[in-house]
Chain A
Amino acid sequence: MSNVLIVGELKNGELKKISKEITSAGRKIADALGGKVTALLIGSGVEKFAGDLGAVGADSVVTVNAGDFNAETWANLVAGVIKDKNPSVVLLPHTSQGKDYSPRVAVKAGAGIVADVVGLSVDGGKVVAKKPIYSGKAYGNFKVTSPVAIFTVRPNSQEVVQKAGGGAVEAASPAAGDAKVKIVSSDLSGGNKVQLAEASIIVSGGRGIKGPENWPVLQGLADVLGAALGASRAAVDAGWIPHSHQVGQTGKTVSPNCYIACGISGAIQHLAGMGSSKYIVAINKDGDAPIFKVATYGVVGDLFEVVPALTDEFKKVLG
């Protein structure tokens, strides 16, 4: 039997979209391998999301009651469930949290791991994982040869497909163990805004926005679209916006459905972070800017005229 375990993720007590994405991806794999999909949710009051995951393909849901995220205890909990359920494939989110605890899960389970996967298929009874490598300038296909195979999956890379599973819910209480790292305090003041790395639409600004006083021009568009605000390194280095907004090789890697680059030239280090976006809109005064080489829709024009007009137009059609 080749069963699949997916580990969901929550934020502020809500189920994240990535949880559904990997459940659907897990369903596809399980169907090809002839196995079942178990979804694991860790947190308090997580039972209420069992139906959501059942609707996108989970045969059953295991819940573990726990407090705030801590990489060490989370790794123990997930490894405990792996030991108990003995899946051959485990899918985890490639999010900040995922990157923090998935390496520990892999070692505890004695499993090979392929991280930041964007494609999953099955060949000869084994999962083949596809991931961008060399800043997106190539793609690699990998199999895991250990009995348990772990993959961390990039947000927005998998389709959510409605497909009813079984829906049985089971509470488990694996040992959390002690954490060697204590969390003293958290500053999550940026926490309620749309998260860059998992956003499905991003409005991003570069040196072309001229100064920090002009973010409202882009934020206006972002608000209408429910989009996250991104930035090039030039804008970050100029001190116009914190580094947490930076997209690129030394910033975040993003794969939104739509990336709107405003006043960004499209340097290779920037493309390294956003080149896998599905649709790219470039708004730039310079018709020869490299960003137009990757843009699906290019607008050669002044962002200070085009972005407000675009905001108005979207307001009209989106109500």
Chain B
Amino acid sequence: MKIIVLVKQVPDTETNIKVGDKSINETGIKWIISPYDEFAIEEGLRLREKNGGEVIAVSLGPDRVQESLRQAYAMGADRAVQIKVDNYVPFDTTLTSELIANFAKSENADVIIGGRQSIDSDSSQVVVQVAEALGIAHIAFAVSLEISGTAVKSTKEVEGGTQVVETSLPVAITAQKGLNEPRYPNLKGLMAAKKKPIETKTPADLGNPTSKIEVVGLEPPPPRIPGRKLEAADAKGFAEQLVKALREEAKVI
């Protein structure tokens, strides 16, 4: 079974974001694998452990993404591929998915797994776009996955509950929290990962798709409505003030 796992490198949540004109200022940023992609890597490894085959970790971006690929190696990936895009725009989902779809096609992948969204752009687009580009099935927000032979069974989160769905390979999956608990890379794995080769592909190798998005500009978040702490003698006093504030000032209730 050939399994492609998508590894997006994103700024650590706790990192301070400084907004530049069309991208963020990268100095001082700590980079991590987008948390949902860790579920994807873990699921890929479990599928391989059960069904055999290989796990290929793929990341798009400049050379810094190799660090995230090494982490995927340390967790147990068999191959790592950097799609080298130096001026990578993390919000350009159509370009990203075309590159990944073309790569997946060249590998004849059976399973493609990514996170349900990346925490820098929150778009929930890439994996399902890849599925459409390849003309294959997709399961979004998977919280369980079983593959035997070519039969695929999964529980997915939907509004108000869950659904059990079935399909057959090839399939693209987006991992929701609950799918598994990602393993930690151990020291031995981390040491070994340093020496493993990272294959590189360029957009030219993958059909040279063009972007359909123009970044007009980035800006800091809008200022919040100024806040204040309420003063009251007791709970009842707080309650009266809050109700008044929410109804007469904010007019939201």
Contacts and interface: CB of A to CB of B under 8 A. Distances in A.
Interface of A: 11, 71-72, 75, 95-97, 99-104, 106-108, 111-116, 123, 128, 131-146, 180-193, 195, 197, 200-201, 225, 243-244, 246, 249-251, 253, 257-258, 268-269, 272, 275, 278-281, 287, 292, 294-302, 305-306, 308-310, 312-314, 317-318
A144 B242 CA distance: 43
B230 interface: yes
A115 B125 contact: yes
B98 to A, nearest CB: 9
Interface of B: 11, 13-14, 16-17, 19, 24, 35-36, 91, 93-94, 97, 117, 119-129, 131-133, 136-141, 153, 157-168, 177-178, 211-222, 224-230, 232, 234-236, 238-240, 242-243, 245-247, 250, 252-253
Contact of A144 (B13, B178, B212): B212
A306 B235 contact: yes
Contacts of B141: 96, 99-100
Contacts of B19: 138
Nearest to B214: A143
Contact of B137 (A97, A103, A145, A181): A181
A298 B213 contact: no
A52 to B, nearest CB: 20
Nearest to A192: B160
Given A115-B125, A138-B218, A299 B242 contact: yes
Contacts of A192: 160
A14 to B, nearest CB: 13
Nearest to B93: A113
A103 to B, nearest CB: 4
A103 B114 CA distance: 14
B122 A195 contact: no
A281 B246 contact: yes
B11 A310 contact: no
B138 A71 contact: yes
Contacts of B232: 299
Contact of A112 (B94, B120, B158, B230): B94
B17 A186 contact: no
A133 B161 CA distance: 27
Given A138-B19, A195-B159, A272-B13, A111 B212 contact: yes
Contact of A180 (B124, B137, B228, B245): B137
B218 A309 contact: no
Nearest to B245: A297
A180 B169 CA distance: 10
Nearest to A317: B243
